Structure 1
Amino acid sequence: MDNVINQRVIGLLSVLLVIFLVTPAMASDGRIRETSSGEAISEARFMARLEKADVVILGELHDDPACHSIQADIIRNLISAGQVPALYFEMLTDQEEIAHEDFLRTWADSTNDSLAFKDAARKGVLAWERRGWPIWDAYAPIFRLADQNGLPVRHADPSPELMHNIRRFGLLAIPKQLRIRLFENLKDDELGKLSNRLTQSITDAHGLESTPSGRVGLIQAQMTRDAYMALRLSQAERPAVLIAGIEHARKDHGVPFHLGQRAPHLNIVAIALCGVLPPVQESTPPTLLPFDFYWLVDSGE
């Protein structure tokens, strides 16, 4: 009898060992890096951190399909863990959010149409290409996930008219009450420091317009967009996921910075998708590390 039990135990251990060796999530393949430790970590450890977050910020390269595929996988995994995250999109203003809700109400009576037809109709309703956003087909699966799982779809971007006016006239173009709400949590000297960090980051990433007025307008518009997204997320259903450009996901001056000032009790995780892992100086304080995680991807995969 003991021999039979021992054989069964050995067999069970062998099966568990095989599962451990062949399950991708159990061992790191070097794609996911934890910035604070500099370590490559497993997808399972990564997702365990995200499942505890109040807000997950997915910083993307807008024109890279690999980024959007990873975003869909992350959201799918959160759903599998029992979450119903609200999805906030940089690509949507309040007008598109309203149009999308109307679209979903109308579509509820069109159950016989194909998913492809629905995707094409939604693309038109959101005026995706007309407003300058790329590769709709890469974003469509994320909207499908929202449909299938009852995930709220919310806007995160200010109106284009406001952004245009800020680039021309600066922060005074923002209506007073909104301006107070956006920046009320910053200390008196923090706005200048924030502007300097943002200027350096955008210069490194994109370069700047040649004229001083063009530079100031661009910086102030970016600062306003980050503060607005943070305001939206501070009011969000929990948990929330923000899909936005990689510069907006930065902890040192982007949305996580503003959200941390506004709602320091929130557990915020900022991720750079498809980014380049920079060297981290030992002297860099944790609060100024640009992201919590990097997911490194070959765009051609």
Structure 2
Amino acid sequence: MNYLIALLTVVSVSTFPAGAQTLPPADIYVLGEIHDNPHHHVVQARLVETLDPAAVVFEQLTDEQADRLSPDTPRDAHVLGEIFDWANSGWPDIAMYAPIMAATDAPILGAAGAPDDLSAYGLSDPLPQAEQTAREQLQADAHCGALPAAMLPQFVQRQRQADALFASRTIAAFDRYGGPVVLIAGNGHARTDWGVPAAIARVRPDLRVVALIQGEGGETLPGDVTVQSDAPDRDDPCAAFR
């Protein structure tokens, strides 16, 4: 393990320094999050400001939404919320994401949307059985056990496709703008074992990728660097299924 990564594997938001030296050099930074945790977005904004990326790609945006921005668009929550029709997006409050966009004047790009040519990512290849089983269990847990077992493989495949699409869009941003490029995405996409970093490594092993996983004080997913912060007050997401 890289010595700097080892030093920074677990830090807290209260002690997390603001400088770009907090992350090892990379071509692509995948900055993970738990979507509704405002502390995680503070960390992302701080890092985007100090990393000074050539472009920032967002899981939360399609390329069509990102195209609505111009260099003169004010990057504040009200304006961005209107431009992106954020209230109907299903994502947490735009006020958590706007500071990330305001932390840079680099192009803002969308990772979601119509699929690219993803044939290079091996999406039709079966996963090792242990990984398939683990992924299906994660999908079952994420959906509060409400999904029929027969649907779980479909949800695993959707996650694989999303990881490949986000990787494709991030690589395209790097090839167009140079580096570094930042991808803002959920921890499930940022994980290094089978998320976006693994998808990038499959097709572009020449690119250096550093993945940040953000936790809430407990066990976290595999990543190069882990940041812990407090969990926000939230309702039980599974209460409706009981």
Instruction: Return the alpha-carbon distance in structure 1 between the equivalents of residues 95 and 65 of structure 2.
Output: 18
Aligned residue for 1:72?
45
- What is the CA deviation profile of residues 245-275 of structure 1, one whole-angstrom value per residue up to 9, with x for unaligned ones? 1111111111111111111111111111234
Counterpart in 2 of 1:157? 112
Distance apart, 1:65 and its partner CA: 0.8
- TM superposition shift of 1:136: 1.0
Residue in structure 1 matched with residue 63 of structure 2 by the alignment: 94
Q: Distance between the aligned counterparts of 1:209 and 1:85, measured in 2? A: 41
Which of 113, 122, 126 does residue 183 from structure 1 map onto?
122
Secondary structure at 1:272 match in 2: strand
The sequence identity of aligned pairs, in percent, is 28
The 8 Å contact of residues 118 and 164 in structure 2, kept in 1 or not, is answered as no
Q: Which residue of 2 aligns with 1:213?
A: 150
Kindly state the Cα deviation for residue 89 of structure 1 after the two structures are TM-superposed. Answer: 0.2
Shift in alpha-carbon separation, 1:296–1:121, aligned structure 2, 3 A: same
The structure with the largest helix share of the pair is 1
Q: 2:31 maps to which residue? A: 58
Match of residue 247 from structure 1: 188
CA displacement at 1:195 relative to structure 2: 3.5
Q: Is 1:236 the counterpart of 2:173 in the alignment?
A: yes
Q: 1:122 to 1:209 in 2, by over 3 A?
A: same
For structure 1, the 5+ residue unaligned runs are 1-32, 109-114, 163-176, 280-288
Shift of 1:135: 1.5
Q: 1:234, 1:262 within 8 Å by CA — same for their partners in 2?
A: no
Deviation at 1:99, TM superposition (A): 2.0
The whole-number CA distance in structure 1 between the counterparts of 2:10 and 2:157 is 35
Change (3 A) 1:46 1:205: farther
Normalising by the residue count of structure 1, what TM-score does the alignment of the two structures yield? 0.63
Alignment-mate amino acid for residue 154 of structure 1: L
User: What displacement does 1:38 show?
Assistant: 6.1
| Equivalent AA in structure 2 for residue 91 of structure 1 | Q
Calculate the TM-score normalised by the size of structure 2: 0.77
State the shift of 1:183 in Å. 2.6
Change (3 A) 1:226 1:97: same
Instruction: Please tell me whether the aligned partners of residues 209 and 215 of structure 1 are also in contact (alpha carbons under 8 angstroms).
Output: no
Does the CA-based 8 Å contact 2:19-2:47 persist in structure 1?
no
Q: Quick one: distance in 2 between partners of 1:65 and 1:49?
A: 20
Partner AA of 1:135 in structure 2 = D
Select 1:295's aligned residue among 224, 227, 237: 227
Displacement of 1:190 in angstroms is 4.5
Contact residue 194 and residue 253 of structure 1 kept, 8 A? no
Q: In the alignment, which residue of structure 2 is the partner of 1:123?
A: 81
Separation in 1, partners of 2:95, 2:120:
36
How far is 1:298 from its partner?
2.0
Unaligned runs of at least 5 residues, structure 2: 233-242
Cα RMSD over matched residues? 3.3
Instruction: Pick the aligned partner of 2:211 from 265, 270, 274.
Output: 270
CA distance in 1, matches of 2:80, 2:8: 42
Offset, 1:97: 1.6
**1:221 is paired with a residue of what secondary structure?**
helix
2:236 match: none
Corresponding residue pairs, total: 224
Q: 1:119 to 1:135 in 2, by over 3 A?
A: closer
| Cα distance in 2, alignment partners of residues 88 and 248 from structure 1 | 13
Equivalent position to 1:199, from 136, 140, 143:
136
Q: Which amino acid aligns with 1:87?
A: V
